[in-house]
């Protein structure tokens, strides 16, 4: 009969999974138990500390809503999201680098025409984004849906605002590439912003004296049929938080130089109302399979 003490307990728990029919599930459960038990032993975890951890995770779950995913935020600030991304994208083969999806992909991406202003009613410095999707050899890919989303000039995503349920998406849209693989849109220049600090994850960040800031960026999800979905950001060169992103999502290749322009017209020939910024960034996708992510707890609206 096994003795359920600190030396034999782990082996007993691992044996309890012996009849698990799926070998991958069996392996994952065994390794999870080993890691958790090792943590408890290495830290001599106290009852109060374990109780606090259970309460913390309970509050993380309670903070989740159809438009807010506190567990994804927790994964992000622990670097787990980027680590999962890294081990699943070790060989890029020239494809654009990936980064975290983030907790604000809520699936409400309405198809809009090229050149549309996705932030038409928002204050901020105007920006024109022009982009192209190609394969690894530079061949343009037509008919590719590309979801884009970013925070506003105050550092908030549309889904964080009380008006989201009534006014709908803002600074968020879906574009479909043309015959030359191109798409473009107008928006506002994004700014660096803090992750939400009104929940348990923010509480942890502030208590550990970490800053909660993310550098300015635009999210892109490129979902070309026959190719691996590409989830990435394009960051703004010169942002002071590029070296200390709270979710560890920055990669050198994803930093773009944004040109400040005073031309009277934008690249599509339409009039510019004052100075504006130009973001140019092309995406290279890798042949393969996979589905674009479905946001946890969110009903996805498809409008392609």
Catalytic positions: 157, 193, 214, 217, 219
Strands (E) across the chain are located at: 126-134, 145-149, 172-176, 182-188, 193-194, 213-214, 217-222, 230-236, 255-256, 259-261, 276-284
**Could you count the other beta carbons within 10 Å of the beta carbon of residue 232?**
25
d(CA 216, CA 151): 8
Q: What is the C-alpha to C-alpha distance for residues 130 and 152, in angstroms, rounded to an integer?
A: 19
CA angle 220, 223, 224 (to 5 degrees): 130
- Strands 172-176, 145-149: pairing is antiparallel
Q: For residues 68 and 159, is the Cβ–Cβ distance under 8 A?
A: yes
Tell me which H or E stretch contains 206.
helix 200-207
Measured CA distances, 176 to 90, 110, 183, 221, 269 (Å): 28, 11, 7, 12, 20
């Amino acid at each position: 009969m096994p003795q359920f003490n600190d030396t034999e307990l782990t082996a007993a728990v691992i044996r309890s999974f012996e009849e698990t029919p799926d070998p991958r599930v069996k392996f994952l459960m065994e390794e999870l138990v080993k890691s958790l038990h090792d943590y408890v032993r290495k830290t001599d975890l106290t009852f109060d500390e374990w109780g606090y951890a259970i309460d913390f995770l309970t509050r993380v779950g309670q903070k989740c809503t159809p438009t807010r995913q506190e567990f994804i935020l927790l994964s992000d600030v622990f670097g787990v999201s980027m680590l999962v991304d890294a081990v699943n994208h070790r060989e890029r083969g020239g494809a654009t680098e990936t980064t975290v999806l983030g907790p604000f992909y809520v699936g409400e991406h309405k198809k809009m025409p090229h050149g549309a202003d996705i932030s038409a009613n928002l204050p901020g410095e105007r920006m024109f984004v022009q982009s192209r999707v190609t394969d690894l050899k530079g061949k343009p890919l037509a008919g590719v849906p590309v979801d884009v989303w970013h925070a506003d000039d105050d550092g908030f995503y549309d889904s964080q605002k009380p008006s989201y349920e009534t006014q709908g998406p803002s600074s968020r849209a879906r574009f479909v590439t043309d015959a030359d693989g191109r798409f473009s849109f107008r928006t506002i220049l994004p700014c660096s912003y803090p992750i939400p600090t009104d929940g348990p994850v923010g509480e942890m960040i502030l208590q550990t004296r970490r800053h909660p800031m993310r550098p300015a960026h635009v999210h892109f999800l490129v979902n070309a049929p026959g190719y691996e979905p590409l989830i990435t950001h394009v960051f703004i060169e010169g942002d002071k938080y590029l070296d200390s992103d709270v979710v560890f999502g920055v990669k050198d290749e994803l930093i773009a130089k944004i040109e400040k322009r005073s031309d009277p017209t934008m690249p599509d020939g339409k009039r510019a109302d004052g100075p504006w910024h130009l973001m140019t960034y092309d995406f290279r996708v890798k042949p393969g399979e996979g589905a674009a992510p479905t946001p946890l707890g969110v009903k996805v609206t498809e409008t392609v």
